[in-house]
């Protein structure tokens, strides 16, 4: 096998490496934190037949907060109701208020009963909704039909 060699770095190389690490740490420290100077955000509402999930992100797409009807305490079929969706929207609007976000862009996905009530609840909390976009996936042409059955 042979002997294993341990590479010894010189003092100059160690100082250069340390300078690189310190520069990277300074760069990370200057990046804005999510709560500082954040005025705008994106809200993603995913409403299915079983649950309503609302996610809050910053304009770049980094998740700041998320909540769902199940996380609040609704169980079973009650999670899919418009009332549960409005309660989820209220918890998200409280988190928006804590972060200082006043303007939101809303993306709605799914066909559940909580779509409309979640948007209404966000609007009633005094948030300025810049746009509402429906991103529900729509099949185009569907799947391939089965072969003809030969008996």
- Closest Cα to residue 40, out of 121, 100, 123, 89? 100
Q: Is residue 51 part of a domain?
A: yes
| pLDDT of 5 | 76
| pLDDT of 83 | 95
Neighbours of 57 (CB within 10 A): 18
Residue 109: both structure tokens together: 């996905």
Task: Say what the pTM is.
Answer: 0.70
Helices (H), the chain: 11-30, 69-72, 82-99, 115-124
Range of the domain at 56: 40-134
Q: Is residue 70 part of a domain?
A: yes
| pLDDT of 7 | 74
pLDDT tens-place values along the chain, 151 residues long: 667 777 777 888 888 888 888 887 776 655 555 555 678 999 999 999 999 999 999 999 999 999 999 999 999 999 999 999 999 999 999 999 999 999 999 999 999 888 999 999 999 998 999 999 999 998 888 889 999 999 8
Pairing of strands 103-109, 63-68: unpaired
| pLDDT of 33 | 52
Give CA–CA dist 43/55, Å, rounded: 6
- Closest Cα to residue 42, out of 24, 60, 30? 60
Q: Rounded to the nearest 5°, which phi and psi values hold at 128? A: -90, 110
Q: Is residue 59 part of a domain?
A: yes
Q: Is residue 12 part of a domain?
A: no
Residue 151: both structure tokens together: 């008996």
| pLDDT of 29 | 57
Q: Is residue 52 part of a domain?
A: yes
Q: Is residue 57 part of a domain?
A: yes
Give CA–CA dist 39/127, Å, rounded: 11
Q: How many structural domains is the chain composed of? A: 1
What's the CATH code of the domain at 46? 3.30.420.80
Q: Is residue 145 part of a domain?
A: no
């Amino acid at each position: 096998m042979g002997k294993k060699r341990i590479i010894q770095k010189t003092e100059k190389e160690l100082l250069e490496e340390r300078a690189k690490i310190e520069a990277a740490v300074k760069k990370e420290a200057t990046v804005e934190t999510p709560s500082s100077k954040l005025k705008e955000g994106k809200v993603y509402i995913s409403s299915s037949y079983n649950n309503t999930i609302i996610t809050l992100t910053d304009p770049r797409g980094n998740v700041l907060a998320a909540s769902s009807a199940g996380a609040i305490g609704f169980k079973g079929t009650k999670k899919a109701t418009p009332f549960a969706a409005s309660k989820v929207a209220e918890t998200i609007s409280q988190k928006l208020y804590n972060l200082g976000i006043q303007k939101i862009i809303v993306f709605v996905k799914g066909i559940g009963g909580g779509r409309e009530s979640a948007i209404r609840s966000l609007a009633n909390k005094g948030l300025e909704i810049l746009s509402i976009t429906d991103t529900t996936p729509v099949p185009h042409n569907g799947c391939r039909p089965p072969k003809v059955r030969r008996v």
